[in-house]
Amino acid sequence: MNKITPFLWFDKDASAIADFYLSVFKDGKILEKNVMSDTPSGTVEIIALELLGQEFQIMSAGPLFKFTEAVSFVVNCEDQAEVDYYWEKLSADPKAEQCGWLKDKYGLSWQIVPKQWSSMLKTATPEQAARMTQAMLKMKKFNIAELEAAKG
Return the domain boundaries, the chain. Answer: 7-60, 72-151
What integer pLDDT is reported at residue 2 of this predicted model?
A: 81
Superfamily for domain range 72-151: 2,3-Dihydroxybiphenyl 1,2-Dioxygenase, domain 1 (3.10.180.10)
Q: In this predicted model, what pLDDT tens digit does every residue of 15-43 receive, in sequence order?
A: 999 999 999 999 999 999 999 998 888 89
C-alpha span between 81 and 104 (Å, rounded) = 19
Mean pLDDT, residues 107-134: 97
Element (H, E) at 21: helix 14-24
Q: Is 106 helix (H, G, I), strand (E, B) or coil?
A: coil
pLDDT exceeds 80 at position 1: no
Q: Tell me how far apart the alpha carbons of residues 119 and 117 are, in angstroms, rounded to a whole number.
A: 6
Q: Quick count: other Cβ atoms within 10 Å of Cβ 149?
A: 12
What confidence score (pLDDT) does residue 41 get?
84
Q: What is the largest CA-CA distance in the chain?
A: 61
User: Element (H or E) spanning 52, and its range?
Assistant: none
| Average of per-residue pLDDT across 72-77 | 98
> Could you say which DSSP state residue 66 is in?
-
Query: So what CATH class is 7-60?
Result: alpha beta
- pLDDT cut 70: percent of the chain above it: 100
pTM beyond 0.75, yes or no? yes
CB atoms under 10 Å from CB of 128, counted, come to 15
Beta strand residue intervals within the chain, DSSP E? 7-10, 29-39, 42-51, 54-60, 72-77, 101-103, 109-114
CA-based torsion, 138, 143, 145, 148: positive or negative: positive
